[in-house]
Structure formats: C-alpha cells, structure tokens
C-alpha cells in the first residue's frame, strides 16, 4: 500500500508528535508499505537517514518555537510531487498547514484521507496565540478540515469529549488507536543503572526523578517543583532531572531558585541523541509528570521500556495506561497529594522496581500493534471510496494509478486510470469533466442517438493517448478524430494523436 503522511512536526524537530510520526512511518516500511512523508523545512539537517522519502515544504521559522509554518501555497511543484506519488491512503498527523495539502491530494486522487489527532488543539492554540478568543476563532477555521476527512483517529479516550466539543462530523465515529514506543523493551538492570548514574555524576543511593519533554507551562513542571519543595521540607532527599527545552524554561529555572531547589533540580537541556537520552531513563527511579494536556505521551512509554514506573495525574490521558500501585502511580492534581505520593513511592524501593518491571510488560505497546490496528481501517475506507467513485459498481481494490491528460480548447482535462486486482480498469474523472462529457453526450445523441461514443472516448483516455493542442477545434472534427482514435486504440492497444 502507498501511504502519504502529512505532518507539521517532524525531525529534526523534537517532540512527541515527531517521534510518533517517525515510529509509525518506519513500521509501515518494515511491513512492506511504501511511505512518503510531507513536512515543513526546519532550516538545518540533523544528518539522519530515513527508510522512506521526504518532501519538505518551504516554511517560516521563529514565529512559534520548534514549529515552522509551512508555506504550502508557494510550493505547487512539491504538491504535484505528492500527487504523482499516487497514494492509496493520505494520513494526516496534523491539523495545521500540511493538512490542507493532504486534503488537496486526497481529493485530486480520489483516495481516503485519515486524520490522527494527538493533542488538545484548543489548549495548544491558547498557548501559541496567547488569547482564548483568538484561539477559539482560529479553531473554528480548522474544524472544516476535520469534516472533510474520511475517518478520524485519536490516541486516547480523553480526546473523545474534546473532539466532540469541536462539533465535527466524525465525532461520533472516533477510533482510538494508541501510540507505540520509540525504544525497544529493554529494562535496565542494576549494573546498567549504576553505570548510567556514574556517567551522569549521580550517586547510586540517590532518589532520582525524571521528566522529559518540552518546557512549556502546560507540562506542569512548576507544579512538580512546588510538590518536591513540600517533600523536601519533610526530609525527602532527591535529584530531579529535567530533560528538554522550551519557551518557559527560564521561568522554570527561576522557580527552582525561588524554592531553594538549585541543587536538587538539574536542567539538562534539549537532547537530540536518543542513545544518550536512554542513559537518563536508565538512571531514573521514577518518571514524573503532572500534565493534563498530554493525551498518550510517548515519554511514559519510553520510561516503561527501560523498566521505570511513572507518576501521573489521575483522570488524565497520561493515566489511561497506568494502574495505581501496580504498573505506576497516580495522584490527584494537588501539590500536597503529589508530595505524599512521591514519598510513598520511594518508601519501598523494591515495590518501586516491581512497578517498573510491570510497566514494561503492561504499559508498553509497539508500533507494530499500531500499524496492525490501522490496516483494517485503511482497507475498509479504500473499498468504500472506490465503490463511491464507481457509482457503487466496483468493489475490487485498486492496485495502481496512471495519470493522463487530454487537451481541450487550450485547457487540460486530467484523468486517473485505476487498475484493480480483478484485472479491470476504470477512469476517475478529473478537471473540466462536466463540459467535456456534456459535449460528447450532446453530439452522440443528436447525430447517432446513442452514447457509445462516450465509451469510446473513455477508451481513448484509458489507453494513455496523449491528445495534444493541435486537435481541431470544431465539434464534428473533434468527434470524428476521437472516434477514430478510440477504434485504433482498442485494436492496437495504443494510439497517440499529435
């Protein structure tokens, strides 16, 4: 299957969506599918090699940190490249500018468009735009994109009421498919944990808490700092490793200084080296986040892959995979409650280790699971789309596309020839189809009283005839030329006029 993935967040950017798109695309290729990723340019190259092709669109950078804005309307050549890829499925991993391109390609090619919603869009807009009113108005303009998709997928149950509040056409047909883990399952043993701590300069007996992610206010790092201050005042000793960067990083460092946690809170900064990041997971005893914004955070899966349990806020998307006291810990969104739960988790180190091992077995899902969950959806949507395009008369799956063009009075009529697994072909009509076929129907019925010439014209296009601009302009001559061409094409297999 040929799958086009459109996203506004991809490498060399760093974040959960970037990791999710990369993991999903890699697994699709591993399963034998052909993948093309369309994304904005970031202005630099991180030197990575990918097992799939990437089309990068010019972008504006610096308006929103870590989020370049694709200039899709200035890139017609790249849009044609996506269309010429002839995708069987267009998968949107975004609601921003690249979604518009994916919808355009899906409409042009007559293929299903699937959208996956990873985040709470309204909260993200509020943070980026700094205005609740403008965020709501901007969201209303984006909802039209959701309505134009053939299916809507989300990664967590907590997103269902969120998306229903957008009043989307597909809100009642949401499909929940979980993210996969970026790291393979490899819980750190005592030797690996001790080695990682020595490398990072952390004592073997230290209580180590870890956070990985963008440092923005809705990740609630300041909330965790205040909770840790309460625990420190009660005699709890710890190291809090904060890996990541973001707009609010300076404010978080100031908050740590204000609370007197300069020795305990270690702000590592952004890490692009995934191998080095694994050392921090291996060194940690507990991964901690209080975010109510995240839906199905990959960092929780990354921690579980290294045998590290997580403490998350109760009744949030983060908590959907966690059973309190079994494969992780949950606490109400309250600083006092968080402080108490942290101290309880570290009061029994053996139980904490067992929770981490259980997390590796129960919290973790793979990208193979995610791809297999999408395949029945893709197959069903393709069959429904083909049935609709062919007036309900064709149920076979398309195996290939060919795009041909027909010059008519200086314009171009574009059609797509679709081949099916039962050996038949059909033509998906393209631009200027109504005037073109009204003309043939009018001539055929008036002069011959039948519509067989319409079928002959379709056969001309179906044999890849390129009828160019030197066609006669008069209706009778055009009619006879096409009729002659269709008969020769049907007997010889190919005919080219002009």
CA–CA distance, 2 with 28 (Å, rounded to integer) = 10
Sign of CA dihedral 338, 342, 343, 348: positive
Q: Average pLDDT of 19-34?
A: 95
Domains 2-176 and 190-364 share a fold: yes
Q: What fold characterizes domain 190-364?
A: Rossmann fold (3.40.50)
Highest mean pLDDT among 62-76, 269-283, 311-325: 311-325
CA–CA distance, 58 with 283 (Å, rounded to integer) = 40
Report pLDDT digits (tens) over 227-275.
999 999 999 999 999 999 988 999 999 999 999 999 999 999 988 787 8
- Counted residue by residue, the chain has a size of 498
Cis check for the bond before 12: say yes or no (omega within 30 of 0): yes
Q: Average pLDDT of 293-307?
A: 93
Element (DSSP H or E) covering residue 312: strand 309-313
Q: What is the per-residue pLDDT for 42? A: 86
- Domain ranges (residues) in the chain: 2-176, 190-364, 400-492
CA–CA distance, 88 with 90 (Å, rounded to integer) = 7
Confidence of residue 389 (pLDDT cuts 50, 70, 90): low
Report pLDDT digits (tens) over 124-177.
778 777 788 888 888 887 888 888 899 999 999 999 888 888 877 666 678 999
User: SS3 of 341, please?
Assistant: helix
Residue 9 contacts residue 41 (beta carbons within 8 Å): no
Sign of CA dihedral 248, 250, 252, 254: negative
* 213: pLDDT strictly greater than 60: yes
User: Cβ-count burial of 161 within 10 angstroms (0-12 exposed, 13-18 middle, 19+ buried)?
Assistant: exposed
CB atoms within 10 A of CB 43: 10
Q: Average pLDDT of 328-334?
A: 96
**The model's pTM:** 0.75
Report pLDDT digits (tens) over 430-449.
443 334 444 444 444 444 44
Q: What class is the 2-176 domain? A: alpha beta
Confidence of residue 387 (pLDDT cuts 50, 70, 90): confident
User: In sequence order, which residues have a C-beta less than 8 Å from that of residue 223 and are 6 or more positions away?
Assistant: 290, 333, 335, 338
């Amino acid at each position: 299957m040929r799958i086009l993935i459109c996203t506004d967040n991809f490498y060399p950017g760093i974040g959960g969506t970037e990791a999710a798109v990369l993991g999903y695309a890699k697994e699709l290729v591993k399963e034998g599918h052909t993948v093309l990723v369309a994304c904005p340019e970031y202005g630099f190259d991180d030197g990575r090699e990918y097992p799939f092709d990437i089309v990068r669109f010019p972008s504006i950078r610096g308006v929103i940190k870590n989020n370049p804005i694709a200039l899709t309307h200035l890139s017609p050549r790249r849009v044609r490249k996506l269309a010429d890829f002839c995708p069987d499925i267009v998968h949107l991993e975004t609601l921003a500018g690249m979604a518009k391109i994916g919808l355009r390609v899906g409409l042009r090619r007559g293929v299903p468009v699937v959208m996956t919603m990873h985040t709470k869009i309204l909260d993200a807009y509020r943070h980026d735009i700094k205005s609740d009113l403008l965020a709501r108005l901007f969201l209303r303009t984006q909802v039209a994109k959701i309505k134009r998709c053939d299916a809507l997928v989300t990664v967590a149950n907590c997103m269902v009421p969120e998306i229903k509040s957008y009043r989307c056409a597909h809100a009642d047909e949401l499909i929940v498919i979980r993210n996969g883990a970026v790291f393979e399952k490899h819980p750190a043993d005592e030797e690996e944990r001790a080695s990682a701590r020595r490398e990072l300069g952390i004592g073997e007996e230290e209580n180590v808490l870890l956070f990985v992610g963008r440092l923005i206010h809705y990740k609630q790092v300041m909330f965790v700092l205040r909770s840790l201050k309460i625990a420190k005042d009660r005699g709890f000793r710890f190291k809090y490793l904060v890996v990541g960067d973001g707009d609010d990083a300076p404010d978080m460092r100031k908050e740590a200084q204000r609370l007197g946690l300069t020795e305990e809170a270690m702000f590592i900064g952004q890490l692009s080296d995934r191998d080095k990041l694994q050392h921090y997971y291996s060194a940690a005893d507990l991964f901690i986040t209080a975010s109510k914004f995240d839906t199905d955070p990959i960092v929780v899966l990354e921690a579980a892959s290294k045998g590290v349990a997580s403490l998350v806020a109760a009744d949030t998307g983060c908590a959907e995979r966690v059973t309190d006291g079994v494969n992780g810990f949950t606490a109400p969104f309250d600083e006092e409650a968080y402080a108490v739960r942290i101290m309880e988790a570290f009061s029994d180190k053996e139980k904490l280790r067992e929770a981490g091992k259980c997390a590796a077995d129960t919290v973790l899902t793979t990208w193979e699971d995610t791809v297999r969950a999408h395949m029945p959806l893709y197959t069903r949507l393709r069959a429904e789309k083909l049935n609709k395009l062919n007036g309900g008369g064709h149920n076979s799956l398309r195996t290939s596309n060919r795009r041909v063009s027909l010059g008519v009075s200086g314009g171009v009529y574009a059609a797509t020839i679709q081949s099916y697994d039962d050996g038949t072909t059909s033509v998906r009509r393209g631009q200027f189809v109504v005037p073109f076929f009204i003309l043939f129907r009018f001539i055929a019925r008036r002069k011959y009283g039948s519509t067989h010439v319409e079928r002959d014209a379709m056969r001309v296009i179906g044999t890849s005839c390129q009828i160019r601009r030197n066609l006669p302009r008069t209706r009778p001559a055009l009619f006879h030329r096409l009729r002659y061409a269709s008969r020769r094409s049907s007997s010889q297999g190919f005919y080219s006029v002009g």
